[in-house]
Chains A and B, each alone.
Chain A
Amino acid sequence: MAKTVKIMLAGEGGQGVQSVAEIIAEAANEQGREVLYIPNFGVEQRGGVSIAFLQIGDSPIGSPKFETGDIVVALSDRAITRTVQYVGPATVFVYDAGIEGAQTHLPQNAGRVLGIPAIDVAKRELHPRVFNIIIMGAVIRATGVVPEDAAKAAIEKQLGYKFEKDPQLRELNFKAIDRGAELVAGRL
């Protein structure tokens, strides 16, 4: 029985961190795993740093939020500042290498700090809109919480109606998963 994996995703509103968390959660749930996902929310409808707390395991999950993530992903300057408190000696901290000046406030106590060029890859190789799907690929490869095929199936379930109209979109999303996975492969 695997230990519960604690995943935190943080970014600016519109970067799609909640969608990523939701798709991974759905995929893991489909696999029959124990899953608990909760977004942070405040009085603002929009704006502010958006954080997703996601836990996946095989035994009942405790508190909905956690103190220390196994993997913490920060996708903006503000998200880095906001999430360092969730980092511990065993945490893998992932951030987008394109964030300017990120180096100055990265966590000092993380087990591992990984900068990945997700924004850059999205823009140059795929499409900016699948930036969050690249992140998703990176997260599932880094944590192994769900097989990549299960993630693709979950995307299909959620966006299938769009893929029907535009099959290229499916290709684009699936490729983004693979590319995201490649960005962290061998670096952990």
Chain B
Amino acid sequence: MGDKPIGGEKRVFMTGNEVVAYGALAAGADIMYGYPITPQNEIMHYWTRMVPKYGKGFLQTEDELSAGFTTIGGVLAGKRAFTATAGPGNVLMQEPMSMAEAMRLPTVAVVQQRGGPSTATVIYSQQEVILTTMGGNGEGLRVVYSTATHQELFDYTIKAFNTAWKYRFPTFVLGDGYQAKMRESLTLYDPEDRGIEMVVPEAFVGRSGTPGVDRPPAQYRNTYSMEEELAGALAENIAAYEKAAPEISEYEEMGTQDADLVIVAHGVVSRAAKLAARDLGKEGIRVGYFRPITLRPLPVKRIRELAGGTGTFLVVESAYGQLARILMEAAFGAAVRIVPLYKPGVGVTSEEVVTRVRELVGQSL
């Protein structure tokens, strides 16, 4: 049983689902619970092949409700437990994740978005943004990382475990079917070699000593008899979330200084947006590029700064304005004009973004 599955830096060429399995392994994940759904299946396929070699655990559950709740059970036992899902499975996953939110449980879930609503396609979309950031009958006290490259898929799978266990909010890595199935290169590493210290998980229940004798019993609930009691618990959790939000939120930007037009995208679409901004720059058309990496909590401060000094946000996404909706909330009151390039359920190429920008620039001349 090797403790160091990844020795040294290693350049590899693989699919995103395989990357996630390696990321979880590198992070020291102990056990995965999952239910088959395309396009995340291969995460389970790769993980189950690693299980005996590295002494890990896996359970194939009866549905995503069970996958989420068993993950919670694993977390309660003090293990780095995770699950992966997509589309309709993500819908079911919101029930357990709302419990994790209520009880501040550090679950990690990888979501490979597929087309929606309903069964739709098994291929790709960015239509699970609102669901993943705000799903459940709660306040969205959770962390959602939206990755764009295989390197990030690896980096943020590792980071998700640390964020979850440090701040104790359910944490999601939001990928998509393209990232799941495509192959590209990345560098695998052991987090320790890069100076990344993994937060050590602690058991919520079943610690040493007899409850009521050696220690008080550890009793966790998500039910309250009185409104005031709930309000008190929520106030505490919301305060913790607000405090953590600026530390957690991340973004990437390029050429946004004094840009009158900024292309805003997240996840895999940001690759096309970034390329478009670069290509337009070569033509002498100056546009900025901005990408929230955390969709929850959003990098609100930076968004507000940009929204105050930019004429137009061109919001590009493979959904019908889900990114735009959370962006507008963050930028509320700012003068920025939001122009959509929405392609729900299909990919966006840099050429399409370039064309749209040329139209916009032409209009303003």
Q: Chain A: residues with CB nearer than 8 A to chain B?
A: 22, 25-26, 29, 34-43, 60-68
Cα distance A29–B187 in the bound complex, in angstroms? 13
A40 to B352, CA, bound (A): 20
Tell me if B13 and A63 are in contact (CB < 8 A): no
Q: Which of B136-144, B229-237, B249-257, B271-279 contacts A (4 or more CB under 8 A)?
A: B271-279
Query: Which of the four size classes fits the interface of chain B?
Result: 20 to 34
The one of B39, B185, B347 that contacts A41, using a Cβ cutoff of 8 Å: B39
* Interface membership of B188, Cβ < 8 A: no
Interface 1/0 per residue, B1-14 and A, CB below 8 Å: 00000000000010
Q: Which residues of A contact B347 (CB under 8 A)?
A: 63-65
Is the pair A26, B271 in contact by a Cβ cutoff of 8 Å?
Answer: no
Q: Are B349 and A62 in contact (CB under 8 A)?
A: yes
A residues in contact with B121, CB < 8 Å: 42-43
Residues of A within 8 A of B13 (CB): 25-26, 29, 35
Quick check: is B178 within 8 A (CB to CB) of the other chain? Answer: yes
Question: What distance in Å separates the Cβ of B358 from its nearest Cβ neighbour in chain A?
Answer: 16
Q: For the complex of A and B, list the 8 residue pairs with the smallest distance between their C-beta atoms, beginning with the closest.
A: A38-B182, A62-B275, A29-B13, A63-B272, A62-B350, A64-B178, A62-B272, A63-B349
B185 and A35 contact, CB distance less than 8 A: yes
Chain B proximity of A16: nearest CB distance (Å): 17
A96 to B254, CA, bound (A): 45
Does B304 interact with chain A (Cβ within 8 Å)?
Answer: no
- Chain B residues with a Cβ under 8 A of chain A: 13, 38-39, 121-123, 149, 178-179, 181-185, 268-269, 271-272, 274-276, 347-352
Q: Is the CB of A25 within 8 A of B268?
A: no
Known: A35-B184, A38-B181. A63 touches B350 (CB 8 A): yes
Question: By the criterion CB–CB under 8 Å, are A29 and B185 in contact?
Answer: yes
Please indicate the chain A residues that have their CB under 8 angstroms from the CB of B350 in the complex: 62-63
Inside 8 A of A42's CB, which chain B residues have their CB? 121-123
- Assess the B122–A36 pair: CB atoms within 8 A: no
Q: Judge whether B122 and A43 touch: CB under 8 Å.
A: yes
Q: Which residue of B lies closest to A21 (CB)?
A: B183
Q: Let me know if B178 and A38 touch, CB within 8 A.
A: yes
Chain B residues with CB below 8 A from A68, complex form: 351
